[in-house]
Amino acid sequence: MGEPSANRNLAVRVLTSVVVVPLLLAALFVAPSWVWFAVVISACVVGGLELFGMTHPGDRVAQAVGALTTAAVSAAIYFYASDPRVLVTLIVAVVLQGALVPLWRLGEIQTAALRVFSGMAGPLYIGALLTTVASIQRDHFETGGPGMVVMILAIAWLGDTGGYFAGRFLGKTPLYPAVSPKKTREGFVGSLLGSVVGGVGAQLLLVPALPTAHIAVLSLIAGALGQLGDLVESLLKRSTGIKDSGWIVPGHGGILDRLDAVLVVSPLTYLYLHWFTPLG
């Protein structure tokens, strides 16, 4: 039963990619930058609904507030990242609403701490980190911004793919069984190799102005931390009794299941571009 189910899941994954990837590439390379931002902020909203669906089960109002706050964070980061007043106001407002919403929507006292701190951190975790992938596309459009986004996605998603196949065919040693029983050390190594191959390959093809040695190191570090980001989501799901964060991406689960590594790789790339390259 396990093998046919795994094969069906893989087939659905491939079919989903065949449909989704051309649309993403069109939004990245052909459409105006606001189209790509619309894709990103939509992912932020869905990711917020998934996150707060786990931390605020059954409370649709609190889930909606969390998702809207996540969208507000995304818009503020995209349009006003260079204004420190907006950023400070954003942090204060997000923290305050995260603290106050549970007083309004009291719920079970035993889960209040989780709901308070997820309300504070969740919109920043999803909205701020994911929106860097839109800022990179827009701010570096003339110097290869769309290609940089493809590089980010390649680091994250080929890392996932490398980990999947290495774990499936070679995996023997558990990596962190208390958090993710199926992940193995062999899969982790395969993920690192996939991230480096994806990152360097995309850089050579699409962003030759970036130093290949830099991207190899960035891919290695971001790939490793991206897998830790995947473990963070696994920890959250296990602690709340959820198998998949959502169902919106056939064969892949929810948006958070698909973007957990991107949430780490993209901001690291954003920081690299602004601190270590002339493109920044």
Going residue by residue through the chain (280 aa), what tens digit of pLDDT does each one get? 455 655 566 566 667 667 788 888 999 999 999 999 999 999 999 999 999 999 999 999 999 999 999 999 999 999 999 899 999 999 999 999 999 999 999 989 999 999 999 999 999 999 999 999 999 999 999 899 999 999 999 999 899 999 989 988 998 899 988 888 888 999 999 999 999 999 999 999 999 999 999 999 999 999 999 989 888 888 888 888 876 665 555 545 689 988 999 999 999 999 999 898 766 5
pLDDT of residue 1: 45
pLDDT of residue 7: 58
pLDDT of residue 229: 87
Domain of 49?
31-139
Q: Is 1 part of any domain?
A: no
Q: Is 61 part of any domain?
A: yes
Amino acid letter for position 47: G
Kindly write down the DSSP assignment for every residue of 38-90, as one continuous string: HHHHHHHHHHHHHHHHHHSTT-HHHHHHHHHHHHHHHHHHHHHTT-HHHHHHH
Indicate whether 106 and 184 sit together in one domain: no
pLDDT of residue 168: 87
Q: What is the pLDDT of residues 53-93, one digit of tens each?
A: 999 999 999 999 999 999 999 999 999 998 999 999 999 99
Number of domains in the chain: 2
The mean of the pLDDT values for the chain is: 89
Q: What is the pLDDT of residues 93-114, one digit of tens each?
A: 999 999 999 999 998 999 999 9
Indicate whether 151 and 64 sit together in one domain: no
In this prediction the pTM is: 0.89
Q: Is 11 part of any domain?
A: no
Using the 3D structure, point to which of 113, 139, 165 is the last residue of a domain.
139
Question: Which residue pairs, CB below 8 angstroms and at least 24 apart, start in 173-179?
Answer: 176/231, 179/231, 179/234, 179/235, 179/238
Q: Is 104 part of any domain?
A: yes
Q: Which tokens belong to 169?
A: 């065919």
Q: Is 251 part of any domain?
A: yes
Indicate whether 190 and 130 sit together in one domain: no
Using the 3D structure, point to which of 139, 168, 184 is the last residue of a domain.
139
Indicate whether 133 and 58 sit together in one domain: yes
Indicate whether 111 and 193 sit together in one domain: no
Indicate whether 134 and 155 sit together in one domain: no
Using the 3D structure, point to which of 119, 139, 159 is the last residue of a domain.
139
